[in-house]
C-alpha cells in the first residue's frame, strides 16, 4: 500500500507547475506524504521520509547543471575557434617559414681567442665579423644567445607545434654543420629535454583539453645513403660515422562525432645531417660516401628552398628521399620552422656564413594562404 502511495507522490511531483490545479496538487502531495508517514513501514524507516522530495530536487539540480554544461561547451567551442584564428594570424605575421638561429655556447676545448666571428646583437639580429673590420648583419625571427635555455627555445617553437592540432601540417628542422648543437636542441638530455620530447608532452596535453578524441602514431626514420630506415626496428649494424638526417613523425587523427569525419595531420621534426663540405672533413672510403649522400640530401633541400623562393611552377621535391618525405610539410597548408645552428669558432667562419645565407633564403619564402582542416 505504501508503495502505491509513493508512486502516486512521484506522479504528483512530475506534474508541471503551470497547470490550473496547482493548489490541488500541493494539497494532494501533502495528504499523500501524511499517509506515508503514518504507515508502519515508514515508522521503521522514518529517516527516509524525504527521499522522494530530495530526489525531485536533485533531478531539478541535475537538469540545471546539464544546461550550464551545454552552455559552457558552446562557449569553449567558440573560444577554440577564436584561439585558432589568433594563432594562425600570429604565425602568418611571422611568416610561413620562420627561421630561428641558435649560436652554440663556448665549450671547454674552444680557444677563446678564436671566438669572435659570430656576435649576437639582440633577439633578432647577429653579426658575422670578417677580417679588416668588415662585418655582415643577419636578421631572423629569433636569435638565441649561447646562454639561451631549452625552455626559451621551446617557448618560441610551441606555437608551430600547436598548429598541428588545429588542422595544419607542420615541419621543424634543425640545420647547420656538425657540432653546432642540432641534436641537443631537438632531442636534448634527461635533464634538459629538447624540442621533440617537449612537443609530444604539449600535444598530449592539448589533445586532453580538447573536446574531440585524438589518435597519435609515432615514427622515427633515418635517411642513409638515399634509403629510408625505420629506427624503431632493432638493428645489428654498426652506427654510421656521419649523422644522417633523423626524422621524427607524429601523426594526429581527430575524430569528429558531429560530422563523422576523421582528419589526419602530421608534424615532422628533423635533425638534419651536418652541412659542412665533404672535403673539409678529409673523409675517405665509406665515410666519404656517407658524407656525400648527406650533402646530396641537403643540396636537394636547398634546391626546393630556392624554387619556392623564386615561386617556380615546378618544385623539385623528387630529387631526394628527404624532400619527397617533407613535400606535404613544405607546401601551402603547412607551418614550417627552421632552426639554423652556427659555431662561434673562427675556423668555422665559412660554414657559418653558408648556413646563415641558406637560412636567409628560407626566411624570404612565402608559401601562400593556408587552408586548414578546421576543428572545433
Annotated binding site for ATP: 176-183
Supply 376's cell numbers: 572545433
Q: How many CB atoms lie within 10 A of CB 299?
A: 13
Side-chain half-sphere CA neighbours of 54 within 13 A: 5
C-alpha closest to that of 353 among 150, 114, 176, 190: 176
Supply 338's cell numbers: 627552421
Please enumerate, by residue number, every residue annotated as part of a binding site: 176-183
Torsion of CA 3, 6, 11, 14, to 10 degrees: -140
Kindly give, in sequence order, each residue whose CB lies less than 8 Å from that of residue 267, ignoring residues fewer than 6 positions away: 161, 164, 169, 170, 171, 172, 199, 203, 249, 250, 252, 329
* Beta sheet of 118-120, edge-to-edge order: 118-120, 125-129, 135-139
SS (H, E, C) 84-99: HHHHHHHHHHHCCEEE
SS (H, E, C) 136-179: EEEECCEEECCCCCHHHHHHHHHHHHHHHHHCCEEEEEEEECCC
Number of residues written out for the chain: 376
Amino acid at each position: 500500500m505504501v508503495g502505491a502511495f509513493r508512486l502516486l507522490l512521484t506522479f504528483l511531483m512530475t506534474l508541471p507547475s503551470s497547470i490550473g490545479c496547482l493548489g490541488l496538487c500541493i494539497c494532494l502531495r501533502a495528504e499523500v506524504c501524511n499517509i506515508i508517514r503514518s504507515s508502519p513501514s515508514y515508522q521503521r524507516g522514518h529517516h527516509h521520509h524525504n527521499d522522494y522530495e530530495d530526489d525531485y530536487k536533485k533531478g531539478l539540480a541535475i537538469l540545471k547543471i546539464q544546461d550550464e554544461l551545454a552552455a559552457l561547451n558552446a562557449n569553449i567551442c567558440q573560444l577554440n575557434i577564436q584561439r585558432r584564428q589568433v594563432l594562425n594570424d600570429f604565425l602568418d605575421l611571422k611568416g610561413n617559414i620562420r627561421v630561428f638561429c641558435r649560436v652554440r655556447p663556448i665549450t671547454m676545448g674552444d680557444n677563446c681567442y678564436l671566438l669572435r666571428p659570430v656576435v649576437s646583437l639582440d633577439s633578432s639580429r647577429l653579426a658575422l665579423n670578417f677580417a679588416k673590420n668588415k662585418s655582415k648583419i643577419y636578421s631572423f625571427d629569433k636569435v638565441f644567445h649561447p646562454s639561451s635555455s631549452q625552455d626559451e627555445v621551446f617557448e618560441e617553437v610551441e606555437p608551430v607545434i600547436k598548429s598541428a592540432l588545429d588542422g595544419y601540417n607542420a615541419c621543424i628542422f634543425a640545420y647547420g654543420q656538425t657540432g653546432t648543437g642540432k641534436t641537443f636542441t631537438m632531442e636534448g638530455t634527461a635533464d634538459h629535454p629538447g624540442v621533440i620530447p617537449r612537443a609530444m608532452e604539449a600535444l598530449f596535453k592539448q589533445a586532453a583539453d580538447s573536446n574531440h578524441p585524438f589518435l597519435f602514431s609515432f615514427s622515427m626514420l633515418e635517411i642513409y645513403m638515399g634509403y629510408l630506415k625505420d629506427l624503431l626496428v632493432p638493428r645489428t649494424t654498426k652506427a654510421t660515422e656521419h649523422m644522417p638526417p633523423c626524422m621524427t613523425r607524429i601523426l594526429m587523427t581527430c575524430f569528429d562525432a558531429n560530422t563523422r569525419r576523421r582528419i589526419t595531420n602530421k608534424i615532422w621534426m628533423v635533425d638534419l645531417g651536418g652541412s659542412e663540405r665533404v672535403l673539409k672533413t678529409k673523409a675517405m672510403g665509406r665515410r666519404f660516401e656517407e658524407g656525400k649522400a648527406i650533402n646530396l640530401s641537403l643540396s636537394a633541400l636547398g634546391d626546393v628552398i630556392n624554387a619556392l623562393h623564386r615561386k617556380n611552377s615546378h618544385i623539385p621535391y623528387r630529387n631526394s628521399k628527404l624532400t619527397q618525405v617533407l613535400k606535404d610539410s613544405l607546401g601551402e597548408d603547412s607551418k614550417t620552422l627552421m632552426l639554423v645552428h652556427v659555431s662561434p669558432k673562427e675556423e668555422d667562419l665559412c660554414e657559418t656564413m653558408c648556413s646563415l645565407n641558406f637560412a636567409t633564403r628560407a626566411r624570404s619564402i612565402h608559401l601562400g594562404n593556408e587552408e586548414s582542416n578546421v576543428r572545433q
